[in-house]
A and B are shown apart, each in its own frame.
Chain A
Amino acid sequence: MSHHDRQSEPLVQITHPGVGEDSTGGRKSRRLEACATPEAGANAGKQYWRGLEELAETPEFLQFLQREFPQQASEWNDPVGRRMFLRLMAASLGLAGLGGCSTQPAEHIVPYVKQPEETIPGKPLFFATAMTLSGVATGLLARSNEGRPTKIEGNARHPGSLGATDSFCQAAILELYDPDRSQAIRYRGEISSWSSFLAEARSALEAAGSRQGAGLRLLTETVVSPTLADQIQALLKTYPTAKWHQYDPIHRDSARRAAAMVFGRPVNTIFHFDRADRILSLDADFLSGGPGTLQYVRQFAGRRRVEGDNKMNRLYAVECTATLTGAAADHRLAVAPSEMEEIARLFAAALGSAGAAKETPPSANRHARWIQTAAEDLAKHPGSSLVVAGDQQPPIIHALAHMMNQRLNSVGATVTVTDPVEASPIDQIESLGELSAAMEAGQVELLVMLGGNPVYNTPADLKFGERLGKVTLRIHLSQYHDETSELCHWHIPQVHFLESWSDTRAFNGMFSVVQPLIEPLYGGRSAHQMVAFLAGQAERSDYEIVRDYWKKQWSVSGDTFERRWRQAVHDGIVESRTGFQPVGPSTAQKESTGQAAGATAAVSPPKQSASPSPSSGFEIVFRPDPTIYDGRFANNGWLQELPKPLTKLTWDNAAMISPASAERLGLSNRLGGRGGEYIVDVVELEAGGRKLRAPVWILAGQPDNCVTIHLGYGRRRAGRVGNGAGFNAYLLQTSDSPWSISGASVRKTGETFRLASTQVHQSMEGRDLVRSQTLNEYQQQGSQPAGSAHASGQHDSLYPPVDYPGYAWGMAVDLNTCIGCSGCVVACQSENNIPIVGKEQVARSREMHWLRIDRYYEGPPDNPSVAFQPVLCMHCENAPCEVVCPVAATVHSAEGLNDMVYNRCVGTRYCSHNCPYKVRRFNFLLYSDWETPSLKLMRNPEVTVRSRGVMEKCSYCVQRIASARIESEKDGRRIRDGEIVTACQAACPAEAIVFGDINDPNSRVAKLKAGSRNYSLLDELNVRPRTTYLAAVRNPNPDLETG
């Protein structure tokens, strides 16, 4: 067989008809034809010869053709003998082994030729930025290790943070590096390019422009960014008939409508819990969400402290589902949403405020005594009482709360009313409804959605997804290729807030510049760039757009601007005239007095008292999920696995129902066998003709005949982490009553479902774990240690006491101020590279959180008191884990830390058994992601990424201790108190966690430990924990105690 035959084969194939149809294929075949070989071309005509020998066909030439090697070359003609075969095999094997020694592919280590400003390799830098959620900003400091953002801390200068962070902010780091974030522009699902998008969008815009913008609709989430608002306003000028809609699934329409009722215009309400002695919450969960929550928690916690001459506040909570605010309350009432109005009116009556219930005599209500007593207590503190209404309550409750605050002289004292924070405060549900109707009517030609996921997270009756199909051109800017992107023509990846410039506002109106920490990881565009493009402006960076806006605002330029800009970017807040402009108390006073007549009329009860007849059915209460919010964080593993503060459920939502209702319906939560699982009944919820199947969760403290469901689950296109978790509560939501539905039915289906919970036992079993006392008890007891029945103090030991001459690290956790929000859990996860394990592993009780928050119930299941207790490694001085480790992988440091040596650990798990606090976590499988490149960037370089088979646990953030020690040794001084802040401590809005040197009697932690509330958990075991707790103090109203 000659070469020619082989060469000719492809030629035949390529010229085969049908293959060369496209132009390139055709060209290729022609080119190959041109170099046809002699044989192939034999029939065609000319025959070429290579030399005269060939032409002559001499025997030498023929031999030459057959021989591979020239005549003189010696050939190895030996038949392969056995020995030769073995020899060759041996050599091959040997050489194959050598292959392993081949040179590695070249890797370049590029040093900083020019060191970036302020960067010292190995030392992190912090940059101020801000995260906006539902139109409220939290100021942050993002830690950057060699250019990679690795951790979020709160910005102490920012009013929305005061240095603290919530779990959403903490988890933003994981969102940034999420490998499932959209990475490409897509047209009808196929990867496309920005230029093709521009071409198509331009022609659509031109068409819209010719109609003055008719048919152009813009849908955004709540816009607070002044720059973006400015851009949109400019755009709307270009397209006068275009419309801008805003919709956030967790909107505050009720508050807005109430403001219209009471003040005649939208206002922003700011509370001052630090000045409030008595607080009434009308289903307001101000401690775990909503605008200003971190500051409110700080203020509230400040007034819970009993040391010194602090006057402790008292919180009354009336609520429609169990919340953290209710858990923190001194008195709590669980009522159905339909009862709320009557209760609010009874309060109004008791306080003598407008809107009092006239029809029903107060005594008719089963809570009359409670209401009367609480109202009296509030009235006794004029000017220092506060009534707060929840965002998920109807406008009337907000209006009544405004009137009651007015009556209590709270306005200007504990409440401030300011201009709204939103750039364009509108009724979002109405706005969305209008858009939906326009889509249905075919009036929408071009719909541009900047963020949001309306196909998923809008009330079901608006049929947004269905109607979206009638829009001619649909463009969606989004971080994920989600449910909405799927139905859009164009999907443009959106940059993360840590990747782009922007600006935003805090709950009190304070402006912040949002500063990026890193170039967009996956490309993408910002909302600013999109609007700039829509407005027909040349391609501009968001940096220019934002700076230009502020240049215009400040009307300064040159150095003055640069200085102010740098200051604003550095501080994370913009101190300026235009920035922070509260409506002064007098203004509000005047305004509301001016409106008083109208307002009173507005809140007065309807003539035909639609007395909430106890409806036969159930009421369904919708709430944002405590960990994944409205669903936008569904693909965030940290948040999915963060136990929900009250239920301790992970990875799922559930239909929460009271114990009594559950018993009536024959529903149960059975403890499963695998460690952290519950086998629960599945119910079918039916409301307004819509049905939804949901696993049931029996929640102590839930009002009877009410089912609470959390929004945000049931995502189809969240990503690998969030897909398929939970059920979609939006499918039951309606636009006319988005937060509760009455007349629903709950039917047991007979099916069961497995829920994964991190805590499967809810009672303290009478053990002395969380100590609490009433304020009276505390005051009477004086300096006696809390719970003196259990004699505290050091026990004897057979071993001589160990001396800690240098530092002795310790921690005090104040159970009085801890509200159980779980921000610290995510902070710890982020700081310490703690992996997530997934629902299946949580169900096996193998979650890895170093810090957990135990939640115990006490008292009657329909309205129990709730206790939270953060539990982390206690760093016992007599650590029981240390003596049982066979390989000395957990040892004691000279400063009293219980150190874990990962690379020495062989994984017997004995230490975990001997830990009475069960704070040790074991890598039963390889939980850390060692593969995904983006997640490698996310990790804290100071903390080992653990592998399979090793034990791990809280280290008191030993990396932070070490870096503080280095700094102090450089300066030749001791580490100052407060210099080391552990990750959990930094995140805590209530400042419930204090860490420091207990050898220093003046340190905060030493002082707290010296107080009478200090106690050691499981003190009787004499393990001498370095982490101690401060007993909780409740401040119940003595008049209500008997009831």
Chain B
Amino acid sequence: MQEPSGDQRQPPVIEPGHTFGTITEKIGSIVLTRRTPPAWFFGFALSFGIMMVGLYAIGYLLIRGVGIWGENIPVGWAFDIINFVWWIGIGHAGTLISAILLLLRQDWRTSINRFAEAMTLFAVACAALYPVLHLGRPWLAYWLFPYPNTMGMWPQFRSPLIWDVFAVSTYATVSLLFWFVGLIPDLATLRDRARSRFGRVVYGIFAMGWRGSARHWHRYEIAYLLLAGLATPLVVSVHTVVSLDFAASIVPGWHATMFPPYFVAGAIYSGFAMVMTLAIPLRYAYGLQDFITMRHLHNMAKVMLATGLIVAYGYMMEVFMGWYSGNPYEEYLVLNRMRGPYAPLYWALIGCNVLTPQLLWFRRVRDNVVLLFVLSIVVNVGMWLERFVIIVTSLHRDFLPSSWGMFTPTVWDWATFVGTIGLFLSLLFLFIRFLPMISIFEMRTILPQAEVDGHAPEGD
């Protein structure tokens, strides 16, 4: 049905042979009826354990202070802000897939938007930890919010960090709403099909009295569309604001007008890579190849290729501006990235983010699921390296050579980072166990059966 006539090789969005019932059964049963696979318990226990490592590191951090990390003067931000930006970047794909692709009527998004959105939320949760934890006095983090207080103090609104607070909290709120609103019809399905009373009650509470009436559907469609409209600018704004943390400063390597688009592209790049990283194992583990088809993987790979090229352009422009600006500090920065003590990381970044993804030009690579999975991991690593290169190599050698210094992470840096990965995976495991990871009702709408009595989709 969805096959564009031009390209006969394009795989379908949903494998043929499914009915409304089989979709509901297939997705709903993961949550409701199927035995939880032992691998789930193993994976969850592992993730939870890793999260506990992070919790331990955070506890120690709160007791001793940020000095347990490897940061110093000049490199006052390192893993904390690298990880913050990395997680926020990952969090971009969800909203992009849900909102922008919805508005663009890309219905292949349907199979992946649910867990992409969930992934967004969890990534934002991980990201939001860092700005608090990186503070010298994290117990005073609330001073960054404009709240009435006896000190008669507002935050300092000229600081990009304040913009960050607003951008990230808005993004987190809208993403949560968007995800939740999208879940309501499915929650109602689960409520109706749940076999235990407990399940019925809990899903019932969250289904918010959804009965599937036409009016419900009408309201739902409007709300969802509005939220999509609201979320769309946020996709661009969050990482723009995050990039302003750097661009608004005077540090060579940060102070660049190119940063906002470059960061947004990078965020989408890493977000799609992370969706791919999660989708490929999931479709195997739960036999969802019918729903997350090669079509999806192809499309995501294409998005990665496109955004990867934008990012590569960004790197190119950084180098170009280092020369073109005639600014000795910028010039030194570029050379230092390429030849300085962190040069291996810079070249690794180029390898991961620019060279390796060029394989995606080839259809045969896009057809190879294992290779796609490996590539998505490579891009995730590359995007982390990008933030490392941007933050650490810019800071460690700025204006006065006397103040130059090096940064090496400590075990606590790693523990905190790994801990947030544990948090992310733990939440994800809980999500796939207790909520439908693919939108049931939206999948039903893309069945050919749905078209028969529905509105005409021929316009696509």
Contact = CB atoms under 8 A, between A and B. Distances in A.
Among A916, A918, A926, chain B packs the most CB atoms within 10 A around the CB of A918
Contact of B156 (A885, A914, A1021): A885
A769 B143 CA distance: 38
Given A846-B72, A908-B134, A676 B402 contact: no
B400 A674 contact: no
Interface in A313-330: none
Given A886-B144, A914-B251, A948 B136 contact: yes
Contacts of A910: 76-77, 159, 161, 245, 249
Interface stretch (A353-361, A567-575, A755-763): A755-763
A930 to B, nearest CB: 13
A1017 to B, nearest CB: 8
Contact of A871 (B66, B71, B328, B402): B402
A632 interface: no
A841 B67 contact: yes
B137 A907 contact: yes
B156 A672 contact: no
B407 A906 contact: no
A949 interface: yes
B159 A885 contact: yes
A912 B76 contact: yes
Interface in B125-143: 134-138, 140-141, 143
B248 A916 contact: no
Interface in B358-404: 395, 397-404
Contact of B136 (A673, A880, A913, A949): A949
A935 to B, nearest CB: 20
A949 B72 contact: no
Interface string A914-934: 101110111111100000000
A763 B401 contact: yes
Contact of A887 (B138, B143, B328): B143
B250 interface: yes
B341 to A, nearest CB: 7
A478 B395 CA distance: 48
Contact of A886 (B159, B398, B401, B407): B159
B403 A673 contact: no
A950 B135 CA distance: 9
B173 to A, nearest CB: 20
Contacts of A912: 73-74, 76
B399 A906 contact: no
Given A845-B405, A886-B144, A950-B136, A675 B399 contact: no
B251 A913 contact: yes
B73 A886 contact: no
B72 to A, nearest CB: 4
A93 to B, nearest CB: 26
B402 A674 contact: no
A26 to B, nearest CB: 53
A677 B332 CA distance: 22
Contact of A926 (B65, B76, B332): B65
B406 A888 contact: no
B39 interface: no
B402 A884 contact: no
Contacts of B401: 761-765, 767, 769, 856
Given A856-B402, A906-B135, A916 B66 contact: no
Contacts of B408: 672-675
Interface string B155-184: 110111110010000000000000000000
Nearest to A880: B250
B440 interface: no
Contact of B75 (A675, A841, A883): A675
A916 to B, nearest CB: 4
B153 A887 contact: yes
A767 B65 contact: no
A815 interface: no
Contacts of A949: 65-66, 135-137
A218 to B, nearest CB: 49
Contacts of A1017: 400
A976 B328 CA distance: 42
B314 interface: no
Nearest to A891: B156
Contact of A906 (B76, B137, B245): B137
Given A845-B74, A906-B141, A909-B77, A886 B161 contact: yes
B70 interface: yes
A802 to B, nearest CB: 15
Contacts of B74: 845, 912-913, 918
A949 B136 CA distance: 4
Contacts of B153: 887-888, 904
Contacts of A950: 136-137
Contact of B341 (A671, A762, A852, A883): A671
B197 interface: no
Given A906-B143, A1018-B399, A914 B249 contact: yes
B38 to A, nearest CB: 42
B318 to A, nearest CB: 18
Tell me if A's interface is mostly helix, strand, loop or mixed: loop
A855 interface: yes
Contacts of B160: 884
A905 interface: yes
A176 interface: no
Nearest to A673: B408
A920 B400 CA distance: 13
A850 to B, nearest CB: 12
B65 A925 contact: yes
A1018 B403 CA distance: 14
B406 A672 contact: yes
Nearest to A763: B401
A828 interface: no
B328 A766 contact: yes
Contacts of B407: 673-675
B76 A916 contact: no
B35 interface: no
Contact of B249 (A674, A855, A913): A913
A925 B398 contact: no
B455 interface: no
B76 A909 contact: yes
Q: Which of A852, A949, A1017 has the most CB of B within 10 A?
A: A949
B249 A880 contact: yes
A766 B331 CA distance: 12
Task: Name the residue among A760, A909, A925 with the largest chain B CB count within 10 angstroms.
Answer: A909
Contacts of A455: none
A924 B78 CA distance: 14
Contacts of A685: none
Interface in A858-891: 869, 871, 880, 883-888
A869 to B, nearest CB: 8
Contact of B64 (A673, A845, A916, A925): A925
A916 B67 CA distance: 22
Contacts of A844: 70, 72
Contacts of A1018: 399-400
A880 B399 CA distance: 14
Contacts of B77: 909-910, 913
Given A675-B406, A916-B398, 20 more contacts: A671-B406, A674-B408, A675-B405, A760-B405, A769-B401, A883-B158, A886-B144, A886-B162, A887-B153, A905-B137, A909-B76, A914-B250, A914-B251, A917-B403, A922-B73, A922-B76, A922-B136, A924-B65, A924-B67, A949-B66
12 contacts: A675-B408, A846-B72, A871-B400, A880-B249, A884-B158, A906-B140, A907-B137, A908-B161, A910-B245, A910-B249, A948-B65, A949-B135
Interface of A: 671-677, 759-767, 769, 841, 844-846, 852, 854-856, 869, 871, 880, 883-888, 904-910, 912-914, 916-918, 920-926, 948-951, 1017-1018, 1021
Lowest 10 A-B CB distances belong to which pairs? A907-B136, A949-B136, A924-B67, A909-B76, A925-B67, A854-B402, A918-B403, A673-B408, A886-B161, A845-B72
